[in-house]
Amino acid sequence: MLPTWPKRAPADTLTPVADKKPTTYWDYIKLEQLTALQSGLADSDEEISNDEVLFITVHQIFELWFKLILRELRAARDLFRSPHVAEQELSGAVRKLKRATTILRRCVSHFEVIETLTTRDYLSFRDKLFPASGFQSRQLRQIEIVLGLRDEERIPFGSEGGYVAALKEHDGSASVSMKKVQETVAEGESLREAIDEWLYRTPIDGVGPDASNATEALDAFLERFLENYNSESDIARDIAISHARNQDEVRRIDELYADERASVEAFFTPSEEKGGARRRRIRAAALFVETYRELPLLAWPREVLDSLVEMEQQLTVFRQRHARMVERAIGRRAGTGGTAGVAYLDKTALKYRVFKDLWAIRTLQIRREAASDLDNPDFYSFLQPE
């Protein structure tokens, strides 16, 4: 049954209290408090240069965007955490993820504003910042945690120990930033994990994970897919070989395709420590949704998966653009936080990847025409017959 429609709020609950103070723009957005925060280490921003005010302000704007991103990601995570995700919530989840992506795109473009600072402009106030560093942005850490980046996947940074230690006050006590990061860790299940759970429950060819024939249905789907994949792969290999110039090249191509086939097969038979049968089902479900996305019940799930990939791609674009800005602004000298600077940023950009299974699926998709028919497509249809 459909959830009941949200009840109409009785009009009187909205009737304005006569003596409510009329809203002003400046109170509503707290304008004066907001514009009093750009003084850095000085008492007033009148005492510091336009360049430094710009530097501070752009970082504040990044943090405001991060706050919005964090809220959307938490909302998406909470939605997918629930044991049953109503289908009509999915378009809303997609909007949350797309909003995060839209904001990340803005962030990418903000580096151009910092780049109106020349190296020398920046140097004129750089020493003051020591040993602060953008690495101390708690919200970027929180975003990574909510997404599901694991501690062991992080690249160690400077001499200081991990990213949590970097958030200590200088006297060794926990900063607010540190506490908020720890609270976020304590929130438990990440968006990645919640999505995994949700994928795990997805019925494959009409059969859910708790059905008695769950394994058979899953195996049948994967077997047929692999057969189709291999047949597609053979075609591509044969084309490649037909253009080979010599036997060496034939051998090289043959190996390349054999390797790809082996890695696809391995992807769907993960070892126990890589998650075993549970991981197998999750990966198969993601592939299933991508493959049969036109079915009404799968259209929005597919948008969810695509939005996750789009968002994570944009996060990578953001990290790489960040590295480019730092390189242009100050070159490859040591960062104020004692970091390796540019090289570190470039490394994290490529390594910090959360939705690895979804990215892997892109490597092994096949043409629509090459996919087998389902046994139970009607399972995924609307109530109204077309």
| 303 lies in the binding site for a copy of itself (CB under 8 A) | yes
Contacts to a copy of itself from residues 335-354, by CB under 8 A: 338, 346, 350
CA–CA separation, 386 and 379 (whole Å): 14
What is the closest distance, in whole angstroms, from the C-beta atom of residue 174 to a copy of itself in the complex?
12
Among 93, 207, 308, 361, binds a copy of itself (CB under 8 A): 361
Beta-ladder partners of 174: 168
Q: Give the SS3 label for residue 326.
A: helix
Stretch that binds a copy of itself, among 81-89, 144-152, 213-221, 272-280 (CB under 8 A): 81-89
Beta-carbon contacts of residue 21 (< 8 Å; ≥ 6 apart)? none
Contacts to a copy of itself from residues 21-50, by CB under 8 A: 21-35, 37-38, 40-41, 50
AA letter at 111: F
Q: Count Cβ atoms within 10 A of the Cβ of residue 316 and give its class: 0-12 exposed, 13-18 middle, 19 or more buried.
A: middle
CA–CA separation, 145 and 131 (whole Å): 24
Contacts to a copy of itself from residues 180-209, by CB under 8 A: none
Contacts to a copy of itself from residues 237-256, by CB under 8 A: 238-240, 242-243, 248-249, 252-253, 256
Long-range interactions of 175-183: CB distance < 8 A, separation 24+: 177/136, 177/138, 178/138, 180/138, 180/142, 181/138, 181/141, 181/142, 181/145
User: Which of 255, 276 has the CB closer to a copy of itself?
Assistant: 255
CA–CA separation, 259 and 307 (whole Å): 30
Contacts to a copy of itself from residues 93-122, by CB under 8 A: 95-96, 98-99, 102-103, 106, 109-110, 112-113, 115-116, 118-120
Among 185, 220, 226, 366, binds a copy of itself (CB under 8 A): 366
| 82 lies in the binding site for a copy of itself (CB under 8 A) | no
Distances (CA, A) of 321 to 67, 119, 270: 20, 17, 35
What is the closest distance, in whole angstroms, from the C-beta atom of residue 16 to a copy of itself in the complex?
4
| 236 lies in the binding site for a copy of itself (CB under 8 A) | yes
Contact 257, 194 (CB under 8 A): no
Tokens of 376: 């139970």
What is the closest distance, in whole angstroms, from the C-beta atom of residue 327 to a copy of itself in the complex?
7
| 54 lies in the binding site for a copy of itself (CB under 8 A) | yes
Among 150, 274, 332, 356, binds a copy of itself (CB under 8 A): 332
| 331 lies in the binding site for a copy of itself (CB under 8 A) | yes
Among 47, 78, 82, 86, binds a copy of itself (CB under 8 A): 86
